[in-house]
Chain A
Amino acid sequence: MTDASSLTLAQQILLEPADLTQHDLHQVLGQLLGQTITQADLYLQNTYHESWSLEDGKVKEAGFNINKGVGIRAIAQETVGFAYADDLLYPALTQAAQAARSIAGQGQTTSAVPVWRPQIIPAMYPAVNPLASLSKADKIAILHQIDRHARQLDHRVHQVNATLVGRYDVVLTVQSDGVIAADVRPLVRLSVSVIVEEGDQRQQGFCGGGARSDFSLFTENDYHYPLHYAGEAVREAVLKLQAIPAPAGSMPVVLGPGWPGVLLHEAVGHGLEGDFNRKGVSAFSNRLGERVAAPGVSVVDNGTLTGRRGSLTMDDEGTPTQCTTLIEDGILVGYMQDKLNAQLMGMQSTGNCRRESYAHTPMPRMTNTYMLAGQYAPEEIIQSVERGIYAVNFSGGQVDITSGKFVFSVSEGYLIENGQVTRPIKDATLIGDGPTVLTKVSMVGNNLQLDGGIGTCGKEGQSVPVGVGQPTLKVDELTVGGAA
């Protein structure tokens, strides 16, 4: 959350132990600006991370991590100088600032930084420390609930692995345009993986979820979520014992609601990030206003959904997040921007500036990216397919933003034969072309769902939590990479 109280909290955690004041930050920014350097920022961060893992019915692995430091950026036109330090003392800040501003060469600096403008933004999540929200025994109990439930569900369950992760992230950024903003970001995640064995066959099932909240998410309603994840993981694994090899070739594909929205993330999301478009290397470069999807297809990136894994109250430049329409009724209408790329393209930041940590350079990234609901009932969509695939769960994807080719890998899928969902199929990769795949969407369901909150997106080696979603939809032609 970022309101007056989160700024106070961030100062207590980040500035006070190092005897730093807002005035010191003002001074460091002043040292950065001048000559060719017209923009600069500081990003101070303290992260506590904790994980607990269950295996063989026992919680015998756990870890705790502290990550603290400051990232300093100086910008001259499109040139970025970046340095970071893993302590927050004033000398470390000035040393990193000197390195970052070295892109401008030597010389006298000091240029006026405007008076601070604190950003007051309504919070998208509570300012809680998840790590402190449950006792160790209660955290361990969540994992035992999963183990017990999974093993009760099916005697073929051979292995149950479950991991509970909590993260408490406090960030404070100051920008050379005078913005000072802080955010307290909780994040929790619970994942379950099971292995079932029957004869000499083994299969794996996976399920998980999470949110920007404390751990009570996983204890509420008598462990509703943990038991649900365990049940889903067992169901997926057992189902796959019966799976037949996936077909190979081009065919209609019906994608289920929720997590299959990873299609949008890969096929169009990355290609609409500002940096790729500013550089002209995206398959979507210079295509604003053009048709990139069938009529009826609308896609947004929305960082403002309460408590969602991909949500942020503010981005990593202190800009409030927003709901940005990317594709409206099939027409490309927007990119996702940070300040640097927006300015170079004559646009506005959309609050999509993100970074993995203080030690990473920020860039435009997605938050929660999803397709809006259409008019068809999901059953109607399946009935319309004579022979094809119904894909309901995926294990991840990848895109080449320049050629636009993208893949995503089915972890739960079925054959559709004569309008009926029939046999489960083995894992297979689907491949398609980002700029044209959405023009082949012929039916959009009325059942928009968001994913369960386990998505992590990688770009240039940096991982950030994201959300995806979509209603059931039909793509008339996609290449299914089965072995059959």
Chain B
Amino acid sequence: MSATPTITDQDVEQYTQLTQQVLQQARQAGASAAEVSVNFSSGLSSCVRMGAVDTVEFHREKGLGLTVYFDQQKGHASSSDTSAEALTQIVEAACDIAKATQGDPYTGLAEEALLAKPATELPLYYPWSLTAEQAIELAKQCESEALTHDQRIINSEGATLATGQHLQVCANSLGFVGHQRTSRHSLNCVLVAKDAQGMQRDYAYTTARDPQDLWSTNQVAMLAAQRTLDRLDARRLPTGRWPVILTPEIAAQLLHYFIRAISGGLLYRRASFLVDCLGKQIFPTHLTLTEDPWLDKGWGSAAFDDEGVKTTARTLVDAGVLQGYVLGSYSARRLGMQTTGNAGGIHNILIQPQPLTQAQLLDKMDTGLLVTETMGHGVNLVTGDFSQGAVGFWVEQGEIQFPVHEITIAGRLPDMLQNIVAISNDLDNRQMIRTGSMLIEQMTIAGQ
């Protein structure tokens, strides 16, 4: 079982040529402008469950997407098949679509002056020449360390080691061409524990661009075991209003809703609870958020966005005041603004925490709920209404008392953002939004 071959400069060259060829075909078909992106990814994943190999999967796929413009008309086509016949078919399909759609004065490529020319490739590619057998061994080791940790751990959904790599090449008819290789490696372990009250499942994971940055199998195993055991004997809570602490994973989700609410697509449709909020105080003054697209090994790192626009670091929220939106060219034009280099999404978001540990944050809360998991789709970005299922721990006098489940937490997003009392320094670097635990003044907890 051989390892995944690395993405070579020849591969980059080959896919770059493909982009130029497709741009050429689009021009010949009459397009006034065009952009193309080619994606190639490969990898493998091995899952071991109860000591036996569950699945071994090999991934290898490519895709090509083409957008053509006939002045203000636009058409898009994409294909997993990059044979000559398929390319002809998608160029034709994209052009036919463009001719059928109605013109839009805001449409088109990004402004030429903003493009990353020449484009930089950031150091985000750390391939791991791992065979499936080696992946199986690591997964097996992780799972067995977890399974033997405590007798109450009675079952497993397996430990999975996955390694993958990706190449993206983007080009447009204004002469932009850029590529980026990235890698992602991960190990996770999902366990089931049981007591008289029933079964509980939880997991832990490590993920990194560079295999050297992964946690050890033992760290993943012990965290997975601890998290799963901690959930046993969970209870419900009476309905009431209490302060809430979100763990870094859940706090990052909350900030993710905020990011979506200041994204161009929702703003120009006026489908966000944060329309017209630029320059306004939407967080408390202790909170500052920065966006850093050039962060070493970051999940959101990119020297150029999906339109080829050069990215730059910026302060998104300064002392609680919103400094900018998250825009691509189209939404920027709709709003009469300039793109922020976020076509395709946000880059790394960093937060300045207070000098507090999570334990000190629990002390600060005194009595309330520590939320470790949320469930469901109960977040309405148009109105800002928030209502989600939750799992976590009841805290009194700064100490965890017992696990809780089958409850909901609810509030209004604008209030939740305003009422962030403090953020502790347990930053989670596994995520694109790197935050610590977050104390929110009060939310409605529904239970019994």
Q: Which residues of A contact B (CB under 8 A)?
A: 55-56, 58-69, 77-87, 96, 99-100, 102-103, 136-137, 140, 158-159, 161, 195, 197, 202-204, 240, 246, 248-250, 279-281, 283, 359, 361, 395-398, 400-409, 426-429, 431-433, 479-484
What's the nearest-Cβ distance from chain A to residue B328, in Å? 14
Q: Pick the contact of A78: B1, B52, B96, B100 (CB < 8 A).
A: B52
What's the nearest-Cβ distance from chain B to residue A327, in Å? 20
A429 touches B101 (CB 8 A): no
B359-380 vs A: 1/0 string, CB under 8 Å? 0000000000000000111101
A405 touches B410 (CB 8 A): no
B55 touches A87 (CB 8 A): no
What's the nearest-Cβ distance from chain A to residue B384, in Å? 10
Report how far A276 CA is from B5 CA in the complex, Å.
34
B265-276 vs A: 1/0 string, CB under 8 Å? 000011100000
Question: Closest B-chain residue to A159, C-beta based?
Answer: B269
Contact partners of A432 in chain B: CB under 8 A? 406
Report how far A140 CA is from B100 CA in the complex, Å.
9
- What number of residue pairs across chains A and B have CB atoms under 8 A from each other? 257
What's the nearest-Cβ distance from chain B to residue A47, in Å? 9
* Given A60-B107, A100-B58, A248-B446: A479 and B407 interface contact (C-beta under 8 Å): yes
Report how far A482 CA is from B80 CA in the complex, Å.
45
Report how far A408 CA is from B73 CA in the complex, Å.
40
What's the nearest-Cβ distance from chain A to residue B219, in Å? 23
Tell me which residues from 34 to 64 in chain B have a Cβ below 8 Å from any Cβ of chain A: 49, 52-62
* Given A279-B157, A429-B378, A483-B444: A62 and B97 interface contact (C-beta under 8 Å): yes
B448 touches A79 (CB 8 A): no
Q: Is B212 an interface residue (CB 8 A)?
A: no
B155 touches A280 (CB 8 A): yes
A429 touches B102 (CB 8 A): no
Report how far A325 CA is from B331 CA in the complex, Å.
50
What's the nearest-Cβ distance from chain A to residue B418, in Å? 15
Contact partners of B377 in chain A: CB under 8 A? 395-398, 409, 429
Report how far A101 CA is from B90 CA in the complex, Å.
34
Question: Closest B-chain residue to A103, C-beta based?
Answer: B56
Q: Is B116 an interface residue (CB 8 A)?
A: no
Contact partners of A161 in chain B: CB under 8 A? 269
Q: Pick the contact of B61: A63, A250, A359 (CB < 8 A).
A: A359
Q: Pick the contact of A405: B56, B83, B86, B406 (CB < 8 A).
A: B406
Q: Which residues of B contact A (CB under 8 A)?
A: 1, 49, 52-62, 73-81, 83, 86, 89-90, 93-94, 96-97, 100-104, 107, 132, 155, 157, 192, 198-201, 231, 234, 236, 239, 269-271, 375-378, 380, 382-383, 385-389, 391, 405-412, 444-448
What's the nearest-Cβ distance from chain A to residue B250, in Å? 15
B54 touches A281 (CB 8 A): no
Q: Pick the contact of A83: B53, B57, B74, B269 (CB < 8 A).
A: B57
B380 touches A481 (CB 8 A): no
Report how far A140 CA is from B412 CA in the complex, Å.
38
Report how far A11 CA is from B87 CA in the complex, Å.
22
Report how far A333 CA is from B299 CA in the complex, Å.
46
* Given A66-B86, A402-B192: A407 and B388 interface contact (C-beta under 8 Å): yes
* Given A102-B132, A250-B448, A400-B375: A481 and B408 interface contact (C-beta under 8 Å): yes
B446 touches A433 (CB 8 A): no
* Given A83-B57, A431-B407, A483-B412: A63 and B446 interface contact (C-beta under 8 Å): no
What's the nearest-Cβ distance from chain B to residue A393, in Å? 13
A481 touches B389 (CB 8 A): yes
A409 touches B101 (CB 8 A): no
B376 touches A407 (CB 8 A): yes
Contact partners of B199 in chain A: CB under 8 A? 281, 283, 402-403
Contact partners of A249 in chain B: CB under 8 A? 239, 446-448
B104 touches A60 (CB 8 A): yes
A484 touches B444 (CB 8 A): yes
Q: Pick the contact of B104: A58, A65, A361 (CB < 8 A).
A: A58
Q: Pick the contact of B389: A85, A137, A402, A405 (CB < 8 A).
A: A405
Contact partners of B269 in chain A: CB under 8 A? 55, 159, 161, 195
Question: Closest A-chain residue to B272, C-beta based?
Answer: A202
A-B interface, 9 closest residue pairs, ranked by CB to CB distance from nearest: A481-B408, A402-B201, A407-B389, A429-B378, A407-B376, A248-B446, A63-B76, A409-B378, A249-B239
B387 touches A409 (CB 8 A): yes
Report how far A484 CA is from B103 CA in the complex, Å.
46
Question: Closest A-chain residue to B239, C-beta based?
Answer: A249
B387 touches A202 (CB 8 A): no
Contact partners of A409 in chain B: CB under 8 A? 376-378, 387
What's the nearest-Cβ distance from chain A to residue B146, in Å? 15
Contact partners of B75 in chain A: CB under 8 A? 62-63
A159 touches B271 (CB 8 A): yes
Report how far A63 CA is from B448 CA in the complex, Å.
48
Known: A203-B383, A204-B382, A479-B236. 13 other contacts (CB 8 A): A62-B97, A66-B81, A81-B55, A84-B58, A102-B132, A159-B270, A397-B376, A402-B192, A407-B408, A428-B378, A481-B378, A482-B410, A483-B385
Most B-side CB within 10 Å, residue of A103, A481, A484: A481
What's the nearest-Cβ distance from chain A to residue B198, in Å? 7
Q: Pick the contact of A427: B53, B383, B389 (CB < 8 A).
A: B383
Contact partners of A396 in chain B: CB under 8 A? 376-377
Report how far A161 CA is from B270 CA in the complex, Å.
12
Report how far A208 CA is from B110 CA in the complex, Å.
34
Report how far A409 CA is from B386 CA in the complex, Å.
10
What's the nearest-Cβ distance from chain B to residue A210, in Å? 20
Contact partners of A280 in chain B: CB under 8 A? 155
B81 touches A87 (CB 8 A): yes
Report how far A404 CA is from B231 CA in the complex, Å.
13
B60 touches A63 (CB 8 A): no
Report how far A484 CA is from B93 CA in the complex, Å.
52
* Given A279-B155, A279-B157, A283-B199: A429 and B77 interface contact (C-beta under 8 Å): no
Contact partners of B410 in chain A: CB under 8 A? 246, 248, 428-429, 481-483
B376 touches A86 (CB 8 A): no
* Given A398-B376, A481-B387: A60 and B103 interface contact (C-beta under 8 Å): yes
Q: Pick the contact of A65: B78, B385, B445 (CB < 8 A).
A: B78
What's the nearest-Cβ distance from chain A to residue B444, in Å? 5
Report how far A69 CA is from B62 CA in the complex, Å.
11
Question: Closest B-chain residue to A66, C-beta based?
Answer: B79
What's the nearest-Cβ distance from chain A to residue B329, in Å? 14
Q: Pick the contact of A403: B100, B198, B446 (CB < 8 A).
A: B198
